Structures are given as C-alpha cells and as structure tokens.
C-alpha cells in the first residue's frame, strides 16, 4: 500500500504523522508541498478525497490569509490562491487510495489506514 503525505518538515504535527506512517512500515511518498505546491487540479482531487470544500483545507491564521483578504473569498478564489501561497494549505494531508484525511491530530490517520 502506498501512502502520500503532503508534508511540511517544520510542522510538528506533520512530523508526527510521518513518523506514525513510517512506524507502520508503509511505503510513503512525501510531497514537500511548500517546495512543490499542488495545482488547482491537485487541490480539487484532494478536496474530493477529503470530502471537504477547499475552504476547510485552508490555514486561516496565516498572515497571507489575512493579507489576501480570503475570509469571504469564493471557493474558486481559494483554489487560485493556494498554488501561489502553499502555506495556506492545512497540513499534513495524507492520502490512501481514494481516501484522505487532514491528520490533525496524527491519530486521525487511523481513519484511512
């Protein structure tokens, strides 16, 4: 089974989720999304797998969220904002096949493993 994690090595929850995956000896593909941001199409796929609108995949406490005035933004505006500002994407997102979860807390991984 191959698992994909949208990972930020500077985030403690992301590091914990990755450690949990590795402790289960799973084949993990790591996407450092700050270096390789997801496209709008990638975000739409993630949204579908998560069963969440993009607005629930956004880190609302980031300065760029406030600077871009995204609080009242449309879903399409958010899809456009994230590829240029990947720090907005909630983390970590873990994908297993057609299912995904925002692993906050990391124990939420159990839902898709």
CA–CA–CA angle 32, 58, 81 (5° rounding): 80
CA distances from 91 to 29, 41, 46 (A): 15, 18, 12
Query: Is 11 a known active-site residue?
Result: yes
Which residue in the list 1, 3, 4, 11 is annotated as catalytic? Answer: 11
Task: Assess contact for 59 and 88: CB atoms under 8 A.
Answer: yes
Query: What residues are annotated to the active site?
Result: 11
């Amino acid at each position: 089974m191959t698992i994909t994690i949208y990972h930020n090595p500077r985030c403690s929850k992301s590091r914990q989720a990755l450690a949990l995956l590795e402790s289960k000896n799973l084949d993990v593909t790591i996407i450092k999304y700050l270096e390789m941001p997801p496209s709008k199409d990638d975000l739409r796929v993630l949204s579908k797998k998560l069963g969440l609108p993009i607005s629930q995949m956004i880190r609302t406490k980031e300065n760029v969220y406030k600077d871009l005035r995204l609080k009242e933004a449309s879903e399409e505006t958010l899809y456009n904002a994230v590829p240029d500002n990947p720090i907005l994407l909630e983390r970590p997102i873990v994908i297993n096949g057609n299912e995904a979860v925002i692993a906050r807390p990391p124990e939420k991984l159990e839902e898709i493993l």
